[in-house]
């Protein structure tokens, strides 16, 4: 229909730039998911789901948490998560996007400043756009720039509270934020440090508690833990000071006006937290696999690994990223091209994700295929 011509034209432009997105089913050997510890299809979580249903846990919540949707499984999860992550209080959201949007659109006030890392997740950016606070992007992982931006704001008359927003492990680059330095900056400026642990939770830190666990328990932290990645279920847990969590329950429309997450999912997240404590061998096996993958990257592709379970292979153009990804897919490896605007222009890439859904032989076979494909597609 002619009435939709502008949408069709926009899609055509994306296709011409090799940036048109299409939904694809999972297939082949998994080098793309965030199921880092292979929890999602585990027998233990399957059994926990059956047991929860048998004891009467409903699949749907039936309403928002403030109406009839609040279930004992939600509250039990939040209490156990607060204890597990050494926080005063936790709040369970349906997903990390909703949690970040609720946080940033409600907690920072009109007189506050939000300083966010320029590579931070879109959910944080969208929450900031809905905020009344002033916001400014800092150079990626440059703690001095974070500090300078806050000092400049104060010198220009800023009277409120600074908020520092970072990911502990960046989802597309696999590098770690300088959390200790940022925590010091937040303390010096009487600010709040918000840490999205989405890709570190369950994998990194003491007992899988995330990278912020090494900083100790501090009253000026808000930390987001994803439940749909290494934890293997769905949802997200926002942990932090009780007063801020309670404020969100009372004021955050993304929480108040949303149907509550499935009580069954809450029960399964509870089980996954038990698995983290009771099955430490998963994390050890995963760390060995990541180390092996790093050695193989050097041997086979002459690429320096970053030491993370998320390894980008920068290819520059979207067209080349698509070509390399398609070649790997034809050889049975589920690897996707990551293109702008998800990543900055000129940095289209493959995002290799190392999970316990593969073994060392899979890694070697994939990297051998990648090395051959990169050589064949040199520009």
Which residue is catalytic, options 229, 286, 309, 362?
Answer: 229
Q: Is 38 a catalytic residue?
A: no
CB 236 within 8 A of CB 254: no
Which residue is catalytic, options 35, 167, 173, 271?
Answer: 167
Which residue is catalytic, options 176, 199, 309, 362?
Answer: 199
Which residue is catalytic, options 105, 143, 171, 318?
Answer: 171
Q: Is 362 a catalytic residue?
A: no
Q: Is 322 a catalytic residue?
A: no
Q: Which helix (H) or strand (E) holds 166?
A: strand 162-167
Which residue is catalytic, options 196, 197, 271, 296?
Answer: 196
Which residue is catalytic, options 71, 74, 89, 121?
Answer: 121
Which residue is catalytic, options 34, 123, 143, 357?
Answer: 34
Nearest to 343 by CA among 118, 76, 25, 97: 118
Nearest to 229 by CA among 357, 338, 70: 357
Q: Where are the alpha helices (DSSP H) in the chain?
A: 5-16, 43-54, 72-84, 96-106, 122-129, 143-155, 179-188, 242-251, 253-256, 263-278, 280-301, 318-330, 360-376
- DSSP-assigned states of every residue in 100-142: HHHHHHHSS-TT-EEEEETT--HHHHHHHHTSSSEEEEEPTT-
284-289, long-range: CB < 8 A, 24+ apart: 285/356, 286/36, 286/37, 286/203, 286/354, 286/355, 286/356, 289/354, 289/356, 289/358, 289/359, 289/360, 289/363
Query: How many CA atoms, within 13 angstroms, populate the side-chain half-sphere of residue 236?
Result: 23
d(CA 111, CA 191): 13
Q: Is 330 a catalytic residue?
A: no
Q: Is 229 a catalytic residue?
A: yes
φ, ψ of residue 101 in degrees (nearest 5) = -65, -45
Active site residues: 34, 121, 167, 171, 196, 199, 229
């Amino acid at each position: 229909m002619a009435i939709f011509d502008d949408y069709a034209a926009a899609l055509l432009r994306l296709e011409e730039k090799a940036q048109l997105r299409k939904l694809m089913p999972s297939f082949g050997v998994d080098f793309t998911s965030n199921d880092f510890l292979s929890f999602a299809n585990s027998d233990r979580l399957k059994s926990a789901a059956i047991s929860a249903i048998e004891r009467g846990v409903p699949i749907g919540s039936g309403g928002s948490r403030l109406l009839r949707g609040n279930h004992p499984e939600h509250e039990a999860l939040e209490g156990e998560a607060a204890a597990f992550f050494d926080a005063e209080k936790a709040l369970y959201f349906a997903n990390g996007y909703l949690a970040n949007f609720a946080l940033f659109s409600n907690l920072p006030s009109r007189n506050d400043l939000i300083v966010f890392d320029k590579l931070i997740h879109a959910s944080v950016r969208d929450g900031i756009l809905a905020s009344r606070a002033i916001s400014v992007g800092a150079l990626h992982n440059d703690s001095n720039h974070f500090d300078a931006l806050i000092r400049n704001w104060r010198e220009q008359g800023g009277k409120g509270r600074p908020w520092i927003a970072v990911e502990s492990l960046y989802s597309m680059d696999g590098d770690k934020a300088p959390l200790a330095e940022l925590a010091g900056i937040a303390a010096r400026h009487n600010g709040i440090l918000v840490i999205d642990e989405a890709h570190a939770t369950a994998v990194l830190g003491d007992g899988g508690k995330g990278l912020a666990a090494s900083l100790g328990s501090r009253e000026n932290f808000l930390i987001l833990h994803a439940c749909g990645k290494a934890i293997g279920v769905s949802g997200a847990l926002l942990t932090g000071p009780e007063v801020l969590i309670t404020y969100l329950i009372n004021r955050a429309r993304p929480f108040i006006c949303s149907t509550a997450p499935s009580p069954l999912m809450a029960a399964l997240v509870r089980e996954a937290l038990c698995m983290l404590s009771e099955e430490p061998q998963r994390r050890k096996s995963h760390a060995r696999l990541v180390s092996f993958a790093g050695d193989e990257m050097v041997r086979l592709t002459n690429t320096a690994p970053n030491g993370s379970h998320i390894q980008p292979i920068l290819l520059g153009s979207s067209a080349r990223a698509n070509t390399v990804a398609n070649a790997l897919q034809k050889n049975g490896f589920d690897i996707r091209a990551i293109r702008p605007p998800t990543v900055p222009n000129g940095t289209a890439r493959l995002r290799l994700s190392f999970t316990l859904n593969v073994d060392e032989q899979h890694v070697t076979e994939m990297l051998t295929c990648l090395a051959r494909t990169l050589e064949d597609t040199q520009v």
